[in-house]
Amino acid sequence: MVKACPGPFQASVAQSARPRWPLIATALLLAATIYGFSGRLLPWNVSASAPFSFPDAWVDKDTKMCPQAKPLAPQRNSVLWENITALHSSDTFLKRAIAQLSNAVQIPTETFDSMGPVGEDARWESRGPFVDHLEKAFPLVHSTLKLERVNTYGLLYIWEGSVSSLKPLLLMGHYDVVPVAASSVDQWTHPPYSGHYDGENIWGRGSSDDKSGVIGMMTAIEVLLEHNFTPTRTVILSFGFDEELADQRYGARHLASTLLERLGPDSIAMIVDEGSGYSENYGAIFAVPGIAEKGSANVEVEVKTPGGHSSVPPKHTSIGILAAIIVHLELNAPKPELAVDTPLFEMAQCFAAHGPGMPRDVKRSIRRAARRGSAKHLKKAAEYLLQDTMLKALVGTTLAVDIVNGGVKSNALPEQAMVGITASMNIRPHYSQTVVNHLNATLSRDSSLVMDLAEKYNLSVTAYGEPLTPADTPTYGSVLIHAPIHLEPAPISPIDANPFQILAGSIRTARQTGSTKDDVYVAPGMMTGNTDTKYYWPLSKHIFRYGHRNMIGRGMGGIHTVNEHVPAASFVEIITYLTVLILNVDETTL
């Protein structure tokens, strides 16, 4: 017979004199363990066949890593909001929206890299018919809002609010498009400027980037005016016409300087430009407004060597040397590094908090890297996250060779060869000195790599106007490096302030109001490229790049390539999003 263990009530008088807390603690621990093994208390499961793991109930519900703004719908204008959303859900409005975007797509407004000043280069005149079309298509907008044309084709619409002391809301977009290569026309499912609607999608160049944004804003305001809405806060629309040009020198630059001169620094409550949309990540739907942008530089490397007849070639021609330099730069590209306290790590935290498909150990690493500053867990999280090529490109400094020129004839040695390299810079917030100097550091690094090969091939090097080779050094040829266009990383817009919360709440409401009525999580992110906002930085501390595109299962929808298109239902949802954003911002003090 097994003798029973004496419990607290079986103890002798001598035993009862001892402290009872160890026994009580042991009993509680034993009970908790038994209860926990049933899967109801302790945050782990143990079995002979399964390794130790954390269940979703303990990890995925961790909203502290990514708290979500509640869906935000207009209160003062609740009846108006109900009426407009009812209109947006009708077949009549769907047909109206389709016609508006289709007609806009049918007007080509292509931007080419080599375009000269407005008034001198006739190719800018393609914008005229589009501007005329807007005036006819949106009569209430043009009879109510003040329109100012900046540098001929830049459009500033001012919708005066009833309270002048409130900082305005600025909505931005651009109506120019990238050219359609003649060789690609036959690859389009429908002609690139047909604006064809196939019963589901609207096809054509600009249907997504960014005429859907421009026409969406105009339609949203036209409908608000039809319902006799008058804003409390001034709303400004700024439409550029050269966003697809590398430095936007004729459109966005003039528009931004006009606003800055008139209103002054930090005069805009909130700026929202084109940008990403929402897509599925790790089993959940996330909208990712850009709160920052990478810096960028267009670097040109030019090699010059003696010419001659190709029948007596040197060991390496200028093209051969240039090819070696390109390979050397690509093989020694900077390694991406994920850093805590950056927009991309904050985005990863949101994926971990709300994405059930992310592996549990990765979620744990992200949490511990955030809370404890663990380098070990940050590295583990990065190893997993940076398998995504898009995220990898956002995190790191990238280099892409885009343009190569050299040689004039098949039997003549090339005296000159040039390559154009686009390098986009990483951002490192909270280290202001690093942010300021990161562009220069990256350019200096490339110069150092070129020097390695220049010495091998006996070439002099001049980088960014500074000779790196002594003047009296005899050389076979020369290398010239310069960066005619460069831009520092954008300031980071705060996500713990009202503007971001209003944007996030509006996004969630628009998604729940749309045809699918699904929920969406909002995560801060950043753009791979730069938008027109790069000239608007002094105007506001709250700049967001977000276009509310439905990217679920369709990626970028053919932006900058063949078969650009947008689902008609998604375009209506864009209009709904812009409407609720305008109304929500109008009801706040910001």
Chunked mean pLDDT (size 10), the chain, 590 residues: 33 41 50 40 30 32 79 97 97 98 98 94 98 98 98 98 97 97 95 98 97 98 98 98 91 98 98 95 96 86 90 90 91 88 93 96 95 93 94 86 86 82 50 49 83 91 90 88 83 94 97 83 89 96 97 87 96 98 93
Q: Which CATH code for domain 79-292+490-586? A: 3.40.630.10
Residue 341 makes CB contacts below 8 A (sequence gap 6+) with 429, 430
496 is in an annotated binding site: no
Q: Is 242 annotated in some ligand binding site? A: no
Q: How many CB atoms lie within 10 A of CB 335?
A: 10
Contact assessment for residue 276 and residue 289, using Cβ atoms and an 8 Å cutoff? yes
Burial class (CB in 10 A: 0-12, 13-18, 19+), 504: buried
Residue 542, marked binder: no
Q: What is the pLDDT of residue 351?
A: 96
135 is in an annotated binding site: no
Check 60, 210, 242, 243 and give the catalytic one.
243
Burial of 447 (0-12, 13-18, 19+ CB in 10 A): buried
Rg (CA), the chain: 30
One of 60, 176, 242, 446 is an active-site residue; which one? 176
- Which DSSP helix (H) or strand (E) runs through 279? strand 270-281
Active site residue 243: yes
Q: Which residue has the tokens 């990890």?
A: 59
438 labeled part of a ligand binding site: no
All structural domains of the chain with their residue ranges: 79-292+490-586, 295-487
Instruction: Report phi then psi at 409, rounded to 5.
Output: -155, 150
Specify whether domain 295-487 bears CATH 3.30.70.1230.
Answer: no
CA distances from residue 66 to 347, 372, 584 in whole angstroms, order as listed:
8, 16, 22
Residue 176 is among the residues annotated as catalytic for this protein: yes
